[in-house]
């Protein structure tokens, strides 16, 4: 983003003057709401209503047209029909307005005609360097300065307070829902932006704007479909570098992208698995509900992101301790034991207390308050937990207890400003405010508290992650004009350092017999044709062929079968390959995701991928370290590491192959649709990994 772009988006958050085109005197109409909101929130900039039919609007002087405006507005709000808006935008752009927020619908979302209008609108703006948010956008709210470039009606239920969470939403209606929910939950906002049709300003740019904004610490992102991946990824990477947590709802998990469903690998994936993988790579925490998103955002504003997260629990109920442990284990958040000698110290204070962690101080603390402070202090000092969760439930709200509890907790908190302190309590809003002011983040439900705490550790790890090993460099593959045969495919892959089982392409029976002398029995025979991709489906593969006669018979059988099943196929002959055995069968693949480009996939062979869906994905390219982490992350990984008395396989070779494949996928360009290495034999340690079959799908070259 250049300096000008940055300036433009600054204007969007902090305009000195705002024109409202289609300004209405009625504070409930689309053209009236922004004015009413800004006035009620004491917006300090100048509001310039434009309405040819009125001298004043909501008590402000109105102007008949853009030309009549006494100054050039930084921002213009467009609340007039789509058709009329193009000329107005052109006028505003010519005068030098930085950004137009276009509320109006009737653009690309409404069909081809609207799409043309939208193109004209953007062209008119861009001609003079003006940017457009929308159209069909609910606009932008900045509670810090009272700028309401929005007609969102959810604020009727309560105006948001200023704070450090930015909401960025592709949906207007749901953005309003998030805004209202956040407001009701008392979450202070730096902005709430709703991107609409993204004709010009993209979701990625708005995220980048919030990354650049010094008053924003946390970004809560709601997305229905990623239109422009590169910009969004760049913005999310910038957020990670700036240590600004992004929590994202990407909805539509159940929808499988049609384009991605074509190749074998992709049919297993579905778009959402890819999105899940990409977000994890980028350190974005994905929320499954609005409640989760706002819980995580709220805790993230404490700005404590433990790199090696672990949870210490102090509780007045053993049961709550168990619930918290259950939730932590579900999420993989460790709840390590207290040092044994410290446990003895605590037991000396209160024999029936449980001092392991969760540290259960029991209801005894109501009789002896010093117990609470000694238990809490000891746990925080000696346990060394980066995150501390106190379960005090309704005791924290009892008038007879709350003030003393608050004092005790505050003292401990002040001595450890680097720790993440969370409370699970039931109390009045005033009491909760008190605990929050003292530096605690308060949740009612202990399970929700654990979910948010675990997310902070994921941010910590993402922010601390060092650059890993470099992805390998492979020569740019020279892709053939169309999908290659198996032998061609393997040659292509060999040039990128991907090894196949030894094999020889044979055009005659005699050549096939001769080939077995080099390769040794048993062999595999496979039909060789660029027109037959899935050979086993037509009976085009013969395994464990173990003598010359069988080779001769097999050759004839394969050619005959192929000719019968696919009469139009060009038959080049038969591939004679070494029959590998003793390894573990894996699948390695690449498929081009319509949003994120080439994605690498790894899984165990056959049923593990197809029935158990035990696979992992990653954007291409990546180094062997990432490849190894992928391999080790699947559920069936013990099979590769020596489960059930098997020898461990050559993980190094397998990881290298996956990494080389990812480099090939990245270098091959947009014509590469998919690669399917199935099976790859991961041989015992030290003996390598070999692709036994390779299918590469390529889009035909477009002749000009």
Per CB under 8 A, residues contacting a copy of itself are 28, 109-110, 153-154, 156-157, 170-171, 173-174, 176-177, 180-181, 184, 222, 224, 249, 251-255, 288-291, 316-320, 322-323, 325-327, 329-330, 352, 363, 393-395, 397-400, 426-428, 444-448, 606-607, 610-612, 614, 635-636, 638-639, 643-644
For residues 352 and 478, which CB has a smaller minimum distance to a copy of itself in the complex? 352
Q: How far is the CB of 450 from a copy of itself (least distance, A)?
A: 9
CA distances, 605 to each of 332, 461, 601, 612, 677 (Å): 27, 32, 12, 11, 10
For residues 104 and 673, which CB has a smaller minimum distance to a copy of itself in the complex? 104
Contact 618, 630 (CB under 8 A): yes
For residues 316 and 379, which CB has a smaller minimum distance to a copy of itself in the complex? 316
Q: Is 29 exposed, middle or buried (0-12, 13-18, 19+ CB in 10 A)?
A: middle
Q: How far is the CB of 394 from a copy of itself (least distance, A)?
A: 4
* Token code pair at residue 304: 């404590």
Q: How far is the CB of 291 from a copy of itself (least distance, A)?
A: 5
* Distance of alpha carbon 226 from alpha carbon 223, whole angstroms: 7
Q: Is 508 exposed, middle or buried (0-12, 13-18, 19+ CB in 10 A)?
A: exposed
657: number of CA atoms within 13 Å, CB side? 27
What is the sign of the dihedral through the CA atoms of 544, 547, 550 and 556? positive
* Distance of alpha carbon 190 from alpha carbon 300, whole angstroms: 14
For residues 180 and 630, which CB has a smaller minimum distance to a copy of itself in the complex? 180
* Token code pair at residue 271: 């778009």
| Residue 113: strand pairing partners | none
What is the sign of the dihedral through the CA atoms of 354, 360, 361 and 364? negative
* Distance of alpha carbon 275 from alpha carbon 264, whole angstroms: 18
* Distance of alpha carbon 125 from alpha carbon 92, whole angstroms: 8
Contact 173, 147 (CB under 8 A): no
Q: How far is the CB of 318 from a copy of itself (least distance, A)?
A: 7
For residues 245 and 605, which CB has a smaller minimum distance to a copy of itself in the complex? 605
Q: How far is the CB of 88 from a copy of itself (least distance, A)?
A: 23
698: number of CA atoms within 13 Å, CB side? 24
For residues 19 and 316, which CB has a smaller minimum distance to a copy of itself in the complex? 316
Q: How far is the CB of 257 from a copy of itself (least distance, A)?
A: 14
For residues 257 and 621, which CB has a smaller minimum distance to a copy of itself in the complex? 257
Contact 592, 672 (CB under 8 A): yes
Q: Is 529 exposed, middle or buried (0-12, 13-18, 19+ CB in 10 A)?
A: buried
| Residue 63: strand pairing partners | 50
For residues 138 and 239, which CB has a smaller minimum distance to a copy of itself in the complex? 138
For residues 272 and 548, which CB has a smaller minimum distance to a copy of itself in the complex? 272
Q: How far is the CB of 608 from a copy of itself (least distance, A)?
A: 8
For residues 170 and 673, which CB has a smaller minimum distance to a copy of itself in the complex? 170
Segments in 213-365 forming alpha helices (H): 229-241, 264-281, 290-300, 318-331, 340-349
For residues 329 and 414, which CB has a smaller minimum distance to a copy of itself in the complex? 329
Proportion of the chain in helix, strand, coil states, percent, rounded to 5:
40, 20, 35
Q: How far is the CB of 445 from a copy of itself (least distance, A)?
A: 5
Contact 406, 373 (CB under 8 A): no
Q: How far is the CB of 61 from a copy of itself (least distance, A)?
A: 28
* Distance of alpha carbon 309 from alpha carbon 566, whole angstroms: 58
What is the sign of the dihedral through the CA atoms of 562, 564, 565 and 566? positive
For residues 157 and 543, which CB has a smaller minimum distance to a copy of itself in the complex? 157
For residues 288 and 415, which CB has a smaller minimum distance to a copy of itself in the complex? 288
Q: How far is the CB of 622 from a copy of itself (least distance, A)?
A: 26
Q: How many CB atoms lie within 10 A of CB 23?
A: 26
271: number of CA atoms within 13 Å, CB side? 17
Q: How far is the CB of 371 from a copy of itself (least distance, A)?
A: 15
Q: How far is the CB of 236 from a copy of itself (least distance, A)?
A: 20
| Residue 101: strand pairing partners | 77, 133
Q: How far is the CB of 62 from a copy of itself (least distance, A)?
A: 24
Q: How far is the CB of 256 from a copy of itself (least distance, A)?
A: 11
For residues 188 and 606, which CB has a smaller minimum distance to a copy of itself in the complex? 606
* Token code pair at residue 529: 């044709």
* Token code pair at residue 174: 């749901």
């Amino acid at each position: 983003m250049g300096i000008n772009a940055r300036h433009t988006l600054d204007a969007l958050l902090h305009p000195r003057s705002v024109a409202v085109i289609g300004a209405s005197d009625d504070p409930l109409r689309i053209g009236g709401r922004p004015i009413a909101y800004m006035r009620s929130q004491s917006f300090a900039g100048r509001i310039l209503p434009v309405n040819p039919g009125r001298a004043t609007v909501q008590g402000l002087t109105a102007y008949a047209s853009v030309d009549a405006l006494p100054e050039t507005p930084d921002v213009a709000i467009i609340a007039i029909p789509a058709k009329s808006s193009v000329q107005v935008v052109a006028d505003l752009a010519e005068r030098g307005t930085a950004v137009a927020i276009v509320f109006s619908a009737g653009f690309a979302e409404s069909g081809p005609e609207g799409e043309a209008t939208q193109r004209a609108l953007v062209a008119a703006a861009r001609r003079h360097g003006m940017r457009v948010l929308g159209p069909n956008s609910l606009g932008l709210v900045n509670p810090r300065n009272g700028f309401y470039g929005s007609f969102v009606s959810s604020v009727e239920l309560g105006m948001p307070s200023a704070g450090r969470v930015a909401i960025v939403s592709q949906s207007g209606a749901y953005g309003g829902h998030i805004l209202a929910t956040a407001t009701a939950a008392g979450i202070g906002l730096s902005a709430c932006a709703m991107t609409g049709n993204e004709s010009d300003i993209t979701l990625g740019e708005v995220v980048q704007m919030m990354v650049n904004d010094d008053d924003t610490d946390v970004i809560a992102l709601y997305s229905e479909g990623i239109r422009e991946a590169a910009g969004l990824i760049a913005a999310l990477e910038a957020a990670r570098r700036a240590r600004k947590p992004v929590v994202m709802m990407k909805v539509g998990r159940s929808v499988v992208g049609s384009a991605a469903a074509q190749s074998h690998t992709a049919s297993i994936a579905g778009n959402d698995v890819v999105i899940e993988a990409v977000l994890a790579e980028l350190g974005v925490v994905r929320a499954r509900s609005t409640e989760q998103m706002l819980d995580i955002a709220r805790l993230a504003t404490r700005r404590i992101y433990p790199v090696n997260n672990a949870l210490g629990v102090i509780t007045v109920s053993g049961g709550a301790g168990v619930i918290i442990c259950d939730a932590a284990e579900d999420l993989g958040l460790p709840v390590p034991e207290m040092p044994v000698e410290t446990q003895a110290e605590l037991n000396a204070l209160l024999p029936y207390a449980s001092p392991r962690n969760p540290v259960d101080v029991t209801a005894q603390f109501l009789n002896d308050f010093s117990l609470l402070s000694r238990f809490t202090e000891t746990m925080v000092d000696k346990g060394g937990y980066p995150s501390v969760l106190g379960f005090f439930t309704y005791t924290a709200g009892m008038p007879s207890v709350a003030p003393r509890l608050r004092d005790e907790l505050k003292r401990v908190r002040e001595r450890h400003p680097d720790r993440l302190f969370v409370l699970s309590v039931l109390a009045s809003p005033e009491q909760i405010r008190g605990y929050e002011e003292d530096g605690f983040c308060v949740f009612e439900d202990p399970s929700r508290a654990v979910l948010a705490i675990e997310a902070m550790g994921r941010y910590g790890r993402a922010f601390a992650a060092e650059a890993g090993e470099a992805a390998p460099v492979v020569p740019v593959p020279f892709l053939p004009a169309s999908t290659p045969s198996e032998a061609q495919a393997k040659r292509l892959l060999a040039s990128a350092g991907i090894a196949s089982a030894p094999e020889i392409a044979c055009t005659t029976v005699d050549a096939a017999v001769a080939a077995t002398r080099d390769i040794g029995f048993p062999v595999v025979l496979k039909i060789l044709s660029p027109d037959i991709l899935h050979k086993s489906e037509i009976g085009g593969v013969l395994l464990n062929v173990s003598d010359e006669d069988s080779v001769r018979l097999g050759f004839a059988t394969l050619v005959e079968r192929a000719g019968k099943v696919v009469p139009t196929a060009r038959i080049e002959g038969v591939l004679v390959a070494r029959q590998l055995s003793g390894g573990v069968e894996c699948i390695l693949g690449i498929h081009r995701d319509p949003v994120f480009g080439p994605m690498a996939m790894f899984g165990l062979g056959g049923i593990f991928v197809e029935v158990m869906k035990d696979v992992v994905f990653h954007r291409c390219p990546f180094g062997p370290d990432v490849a190894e982490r992928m391999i080790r992350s699947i559920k069936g990984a013990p099979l590769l590491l020596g489960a059930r008395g098997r020898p461990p396989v050559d993980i190094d070779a397998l990881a290298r192959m996956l990494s080389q494949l990812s480099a090939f996928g990245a270098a091959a360009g947009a014509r590469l649709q998919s690669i399917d290495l199935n099976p790859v034999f991961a041989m015992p340690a030290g003996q390598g990994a070999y692709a036994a079959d390779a299918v590469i799908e390529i889009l035909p070259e477009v002749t000009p």
